[in-house]
Amino acid sequence: MRCFVIVAALLAAACTPPASTTEAPSATETPATTVPGPAALPAGASDIVWGDAPQAVRDLIATTPNTFLPDRVIEQAPGADGSIIYELWSASASEPIDVSYANGQAAIMPPRH
């Protein structure tokens, strides 16, 4: 009889899922990938995938020399003039490319310095 109790206890322990932890990651742990760009988005901004950017923005980047395909795209809320700013970030670039989009037209904005 004692054997059955031991076997039942072992089976119960083996079938019980591990307890969840609320432990914060160690400061020495690094994320698997580094996502470029700001950690917190400003109000009215959202992360989008590159394929969701307007075709005019994607075409402009594809045909402009010295640009890059972004790792991260941040879409700003429309401004007072109705234009939308797309911030294009890449781990291989020192600064983002800002593209203004309005009325179906896209234009690269001057660098941020």
Q: What is the pLDDT of residues 55-84, one digit of tens each?
A: 999 999 999 999 999 999 999 999 999 999
Pairing between strand 46-48 and 97-102?
A: unpaired
Residue 93 lies in a domain: yes
Residue 23 lies in a domain: no
Across the chain, mean pLDDT equals: 81
Q: How many domains does the chain have?
A: 1
Residue 81 lies in a domain: yes
Residue 19 lies in a domain: no
Residue 27: per-residue pLDDT: 47
C-alpha–C-alpha distance, residues 10 and 98, integer Å = 60
Q: pTM of the entire structure? A: 0.68
Residue 55 lies in a domain: yes
